[in-house]
Amino acid sequence: MSFEEMVEIVNILKRADYDGKYGPYLNPNVRKAKIMTKVVKSLRRNFGVRRTKEQLRKHWSDLKLREQDQYRRIKKVLLKSDVDVVVPISSHFTSDSAQRMLQEIMFCSCDLDIIKEKNKEKERLKNVIDVLGRI
């Protein structure tokens, strides 16, 4: 599981108070199942990964109990961020994000064209030098 996926899991579970630290809840198991369903959907939507609720519950437990250093790193990332931590890797683009991506592609394309032109000029100058060297 990638670090970004783990950050997404921890972010959702902490916001939803999955462990029930902030109050007594009626039907805690039903509540936890609904929260874990949100996590499954989010991972599928944002990262294209399919995980079962049981796999995620086990990973959450492992993070808290056995992988405490990793858990601390994730919490630091979440504390430093006021906005969404994870940039979703998805085939669904908003028109704004698609526009930004197209602009970046166009800039990169222009840079690539400039580099190609410089290489052509360099090759031309190299050929001129070779011809002059033979004379």
69-99: pLDDT as tens digits: 888 888 888 887 644 444 445 555 566 677 7
Q: Tell me, what's the pLDDT at 85?
A: 45
Residue 62 binned pLDDT confidence (cut-offs 50, 70, 90)? confident
Q: Measured at the alpha carbon of residue 70, what is the angle toward residues 29 and 43, in degrees to the nearest 5?
A: 50
Task: Provide the pLDDT for residue 105.
Answer: 79
Average pLDDT on 38-47 reads: 89
pLDDT confidence of residue 72: 84
**What angle separates helix 3-15 from helix 28-47, to the nearest 10 degrees?**
150
Per domain, the residue ranges of the chain are 1-83, 95-134
Token duo for residue 82: 């006021």
Angle between helices 28-47 and 53-65 in degrees, nearest 10: 100
| Whole-number Å distance between alpha carbons of 124 and 127 | 5
